[in-house]
Structure 1
Amino acid sequence: MATLSLTILSAKPTKAGKFPILIRVSVKNDKEYIKTEYQLDDACQWYNGKVVARNDATMMNKQLIYELKKYKERLQYIDNYDCYTAKQLKIILTQQDKIAPDMRTFNDFMRQRIKEKKEEGKTSHAKMLEDTLKIFESAEGEVPMIIMNHITVEHFDRWMKLHGHTDGGRQIRLSHIKARINEAIKLGIIRCDKHPFAYTKIPIPEPRSLDISVDAIRKIISADVSKSKQLSLAKDMFLLSFYLGGINYADLIQVDLSEDVISYIRLKSSEHKTKNRTTSIAVCPEAKNIINKYIGKNGKLKFDYKYTAGNLQRYINKCLKLLATELNIKEGLTFYSARKTFAQFASEIGIPYPIIEYCLGHSIKTSITINSYVRVKQHQADAAIQRVIDYINNPEVFKPYIEMRAQMQMMI
């Protein structure tokens, strides 16, 4: 039978003359040792499995009991552990420490993910996770892995409701927490009979109406804003996103715009292991005219602003508010409105959804059988974008078709 116990090797001190406290893994007559972070100055400070003759003996013994308990709990989750050798058991028991070293709380686990995101250059996602962690710590403090359960998750959700967080805000925070919990379960760091989200439903907020009307976008296209640098920037960036199939800001500023065709993988979904992630579309003349005003030597957009990417986006949105006021556009106008408006117009004039998703840079869902056989191609996306441009240029031409399509959908 496999057993775990605390011990030292009095005959094998370190070069510095210290005696590390070890966890002995015993299987029949076979033994292996797991080193803890604790060590003694003298072998006499160890008696009958405990630390003695030290001022901090009581505290050390408590910490050692916790350490031993951690490995004993892991041992219980190993099926037929008596069939393994001591060396094999040691490898299994210490695997989690190699995957997530020094993970004592769920907060530590979140911090590790934030650090990884920053190292990958995904500062925007890292900032969102940092915001989630701040809110979580305000509600729960430092949460040991062992109590990261459905009670903690329920309490966190109730706390957010009581403190005025919207459904949209709760959705983001709970989704971040759930994703990290699932990773911890996968790595064996969290073990639970019931999933921590077993009784907590992630809210789905009502979608915000961020698209604008055909008349509004025609106002933007025809507006003479040459006298204002802010309004010119707002108009150009909004229309450039729209003409490039509703491309996101984060993708727009990093894509090479020097060629007649742009190709990119949406940053937000670059980690997803799905097919059809690359979006390639031709740069239409309307977009080319705008690009020529801002393109730098490296093929990327160049602005005469000493802002970070995030601050520049906020500045553009501020300029778009000024543009909306100037043109008397009642709808909310943000950079994201260009993406929503493109998708809305494409849907209204009957562009198939897989082509719209391709233009937007979304990953095509391969769980739908037909998507495993049919692939959206660039020329289809180019045609879709041109059709949307034709729609805003001559909306009256499309009006009979849109009305007929609406009637047919009602009949179906």
Structure 2
Amino acid sequence: MNLRLVILKAKQRADGSNKIRIAVSHNSTTRYIPTRFIVDGEKNLRNGVVVNMANAAYINQQLRTELNKIYTIFDSLEDRDAYTCSQLIKVIKHKMTKGTIRTVEEIDFEMLRVKQHSWSEGTIRLHNDGIKRFIEYAGKNFILSMLDSAMLYAYKSHLKKQGLSETTIGIRIGVIRRLVYFATTHGYAKYDIPPFFDYKEQAPLARDIALSLDQLREVRDMEVTGKWEECARDIFMLSFYLCGMNLADILELDLTKKFVKFIRVKTKSRRNPNEQTEFSIQPEARAIIDKYMCEDGKLRFYGRETKKSIQHITDDYLRKIRETLGIDKMVFYSARKTFAQLSNELMIKDSIIEYCLGDAPANPRRALNFYIRINKRIADKAIRKVFDAVASDKTLEQLMNEADV
């Protein structure tokens, strides 16, 4: 590829002036890239250098920068000779316009185009809401490369004044963090000091919604009034007996088998397909499953089978159970928290708890993870230990003492 600065007489402007163009010669063909600089005529461009103009030094400096950018882009391409000159021009223009003068809206469009196939509907919904709120604050056509930590703190203060919780604020800021990361890794924004470099976020507090062992037994043994309250209790206990499984995953399972094997819907897009959780369906879970399972192996709760319709049951009737038993912190997610917490108190290893929950290892690069793997046999033994503890009439203190032995 050869580059030179030229004036094309055929492209002369109405007032007689001429735009400087970059002639790109490649594979015996020449195409042109117009620049933003204009000269009076050929007398102002000699041997590729602008002369006889007051700002000639500045123009020459800028043109050298443009030429260097094109050479850098060309050098970065693989199989350069395979491109036609027209194709090469398109690549150069695309990479040159893919600069840092991009608005939040433009970068968000590119990000969603890439992520829409791997993100869940819920993630996309949270992302869109976060972008909308930031644009309302920063204004339309805000250039993302102008973002700095001072503006992030100001935005956080703005969200606080709206009365939002720390969790919601963290989600909103997280949306911007992901956008900045996408922009910088794809060349849409550059920062001398990244906006999140010295931005400190308050670590989120883990929600204390795990039930105690006694409370869990109360839920299991309570006298329910009406089919919907019974249904809500059963769904909650089924989640616990399936190791805190989320509703979306429960509804995906083929429950005709004696075991479950799955990757959580929530994390499926970013997990290795081989990293599946597998464990046996214990008798406690099977008793509930058999009440609601249809011939296709899926669950139907009195005609309701979609996640949204079933959530209405759990939201409404778990609230009633909570009020009846006086368990203020009980929500559907408590089943997952309770399984994890009780497993921990029974001295079950973190790696086994993570496996049963279907979570990715907290530190997948830890050296030990290259040598050991949790499997169905190990999981089944740990799960049975938890459920036997629940089925017993022993106190948690007694069970913990036994676990220490």
TM bucket, shorter chain: 0.7 to 0.9
Q: Aligned residue for 1:155? A: 154
Q: Aligned residue for 2:197? A: 198
Q: How much does 1:340 deviate?
A: 0.1
Letter in 1 for 2:326: I
**1:75–1:166: structure 2 CA closer, same or farther, 3 Å change rule?**
farther
Q: Aligned residue for 2:143? A: 144
**1:152–1:111: structure 2 CA closer, same or farther, 3 Å change rule?**
farther
Letter in 2 for 1:218: R
Q: Aligned residue for 1:346? A: 343
TM-score by length of 1: 0.74
**RMSD between aligned residues:** 4.1
Q: Aligned residue for 2:53? A: none
Contact 1:8 1:22 in 2 (8 A): no
**1:22–1:244: structure 2 CA closer, same or farther, 3 Å change rule?**
farther
**1:26–1:372: structure 2 CA closer, same or farther, 3 Å change rule?**
same
Give 5+ residue unaligned stretches, structure 2: 13-18, 42-62
Which of 227, 247, 250 pairs up with 1:249?
247
2:329 is paired with a residue whose SS is coil
**1:189–1:219: structure 2 CA closer, same or farther, 3 Å change rule?**
same
**1:267–1:34: structure 2 CA closer, same or farther, 3 Å change rule?**
farther
Whether 1:211 and 2:214 are equivalent positions in the alignment is no
Q: Aligned residue for 1:43? A: none
Residues 254-298 of structure 1, C-alpha deviations (whole Å, 9 max, x = no match) = 222221111111122223255863111111111112112222343
Q: How much does 1:235 deviate?
A: 0.6
Contact 1:25 1:90 in 2 (8 A): no
Q: Aligned residue for 1:52? A: none
Q: Aligned residue for 1:355? A: 352
1:146 is paired with a residue whose SS is helix
TM-score by length of 2: 0.75
**1:80–1:239: structure 2 CA closer, same or farther, 3 Å change rule?**
same
1:185 is paired with a residue whose SS is helix
Mapped partners of 2:246, 2:90: distance in 1:
46
Q: How much does 1:212 deviate?
A: 0.6
2:269 is paired with a residue whose SS is coil
1:286 is paired with a residue whose SS is helix
Q: How much does 1:306 deviate?
A: 6.2
Contact 1:168 1:204 in 2 (8 A): no
Q: How much does 1:360 deviate?
A: 0.6
Letter in 2 for 1:224: E
**1:387–1:306: structure 2 CA closer, same or farther, 3 Å change rule?**
closer
Q: How much does 1:152 deviate?
A: 3.8
Which of 328, 332, 337 pairs up with 1:331?
328
Q: How much does 1:331 deviate?
A: 3.4
Contact 1:211 1:341 in 2 (8 A): yes
Whether 1:373 and 2:371 are equivalent positions in the alignment is yes
Residues 157-181 of structure 1, C-alpha deviations (whole Å, 9 max, x = no match) = 2322332222211222222221221
Greater shift in the superposed pair: 347-356 or 152-161: 152-161
Mapped partners of 1:129, 1:401: distance in 2:
44
Residues 334-368 of structure 1, C-alpha deviations (whole Å, 9 max, x = no match) = 11000000000000001100000001111123221
Contact 2:6 2:21 in 1 (8 A): yes
Whether 1:188 and 2:181 are equivalent positions in the alignment is no
Q: How much does 1:109 deviate?
A: 2.9
Mapped partners of 2:360, 2:266: distance in 1:
10
Residues 51-71 of structure 1, C-alpha deviations (whole Å, 9 max, x = no match) = xxxxxxxxxxxxxxxxxxxx9
Q: How much does 1:396 deviate?
A: 1.6
Residues 183-222 of structure 1, C-alpha deviations (whole Å, 9 max, x = no match) = 2111111122221211212321222111011111111211
Residues paired across the two proteins, number: 365
Letter in 2 for 1:262: V
Q: Aligned residue for 2:286? A: 288
Contact 2:240 2:339 in 1 (8 A): yes
